[in-house]
Amino acid sequence: MNMLKVSRRALIGATLLASLAGISLPAVAQEGPIKIGLLAPFSGSGGPYGKEEEEAARAAVAVINDAGGVLGRKLELVVADDETQPTAGVAAARKLIDVDKVVSIAGVWSSAVALAVKPIAIEKGVVLTTNGSADEITQGDNKNLVWRFQTNGKDWGDAFGKAFLKDGVKTASVLVLQTPFTLSTIGPFKDTFTAGGGKILREIPFNPGQPSYRVEVDKILEGDPEAIFVAAYVNELSAVVKEAYRNGYEGKIYAYGNAAGSNGQFVANVGKELAEGVHHTQHVPVENSEAYALYLNRINKPEGTVMSFGAQVFDQIVLTALAIEKAGSTEGAKVGAVFPELVNGEGTSIGDPVKALEALRAGTPFRYSGAASDFRFEANGDQSNLAYGHFIIKDGESQLIDVIR
């Protein structure tokens, strides 16, 4: 403890002497690292995804720091658990902003948490990059501070409707978890599916954390639908698939890619036999992506691994770092304002963050081509120009069968 006090006093003294002598100390010594917050779900219904988000964030920070950081300063990641609960998320976000002094918050997997944290970020002038899909996240005046790195619910629901129709499904039922994100996908799904000639037989709601889903599954199977859309997260999806199997259901099951395809948790939960033939749709880098390949390499995953949430967080950290460099500032409003310029430009597409930093410093026009997708930003902070991968699980592995645009 005494050594720490002496060290601090020595630093203050050196700074004072340097000031009197007209000498400028290096910016790093004066200002320290730039702190980036990660608000991720390490517990609650989003628990299976927290580690994936943290791995990706640390990989992105390492890439930027290996290139010398931004504005002559290194990045420092500060991680917090939002417990997939709005109340816990708000408390964690306040600590990140007020105590840890982060300049931005990334991650934010849950739409409910994102909606709760959003007003605080705007009030404090902190950039908020989120994986939440609820349409409300990007509605209203967000002052260029709120940017979504996941598809919104409307577009994802539309993609599901197209997938059902391409597969020739005529009758379908919907089992939907009651959360802002899941509910935001159902209306658009039904609109697209029914406009294409499909028929919805039943729509059954259920709540998170139920001890059993037997009653709901019994109801959803009435009328023998050709396909079921299980709008839920991985733990609920796993329980529903087990119940459907016990009931002898032989139709098709469709799920979100982040539930059925991400990180192998679903297959581990239900086993290869029950996972066989389950369909899932997710906007992922289904074509060649320099950034995605770099991301997988950094987290020691083989080519072809689907890590959608991680890829989105990787993009969040990288784009925040590029925006800080481009803006020449860590002030949220200035950083957020240049987000669109970095991905919507007409310059050469660059996926490697190091090359992107080099281009920025050289004044060379470019656009960042992300790990999760080669997206553009709309004025409200939503992504556009997304492609959706339609996958089916075969022998425990997700196989791409179509690309939906």
pLDDT exceeds cutoff 70 at 262: no
Confidence at residue 6, expressed as pLDDT on a 0 to 100 scale: 39
Q: What DSSP element (H or E) covers 214?
A: helix 214-220
User: Which amino acid belongs to residue 54?
Assistant: E
Global pTM value: 0.82
> How large is the average pLDDT for residues 204-209?
90
pLDDT exceeds cutoff 60 at 185: yes
pLDDT exceeds cutoff 70 at 134: yes
> What is the number of H-type helices and E-type strands within the chain?
17, 16
CATH number corresponding to 154-282+387-404: 3.40.50.2300
pLDDT band at 263 (very low <50, low <70, confident <90, very high): low
Mean residue pLDDT of the chain comes to 90
Inter-CA distances, 216 with 130, 177, 185, 186, 226, Å? 31, 11, 19, 17, 17
> How large is the average pLDDT for residues 379-384?
93
Confidence at residue 180, expressed as pLDDT on a 0 to 100 scale: 86
Confidence at residue 5, expressed as pLDDT on a 0 to 100 scale: 38
Confidence at residue 12, expressed as pLDDT on a 0 to 100 scale: 41
- Structure tokens belonging to residue 107: 């991650």
3-state secondary structure of 100: coil
pLDDT exceeds cutoff 70 at 27: no
Confidence at residue 221, expressed as pLDDT on a 0 to 100 scale: 95
19: which residues sit within 8 A by CB, 6+ positions away? none
Confidence at residue 26, expressed as pLDDT on a 0 to 100 scale: 42
CATH architecture of 32-150+289-374: 3-Layer(aba) Sandwich (3.40)
Do 124 and 104 form a contact (C-beta atoms < 8 A)? no
pLDDT exceeds cutoff 80 at 304: no
Inter-CA distances, 77 with 69, 102, 351, Å? 13, 9, 22
pLDDT exceeds cutoff 70 at 92: yes
End-to-end CA distance of the chain: 60
Confidence at residue 199, expressed as pLDDT on a 0 to 100 scale: 98
* Cα distance between residue 33 and residue 157, in whole Å: 41
Q: Which residue has the tokens 């290194």?
A: 74
pLDDT band at 133 (very low <50, low <70, confident <90, very high): confident
* Cα distance between residue 266 and residue 397, in whole Å: 11
Confidence at residue 274, expressed as pLDDT on a 0 to 100 scale: 96
- Structure tokens belonging to residue 255: 């799920």
* Cα distance between residue 362 and residue 347, in whole Å: 13
* Cα distance between residue 58 and residue 56, in whole Å: 5
Across-strand partners of 400?
Answer: 391
pLDDT band at 346 (very low <50, low <70, confident <90, very high): confident
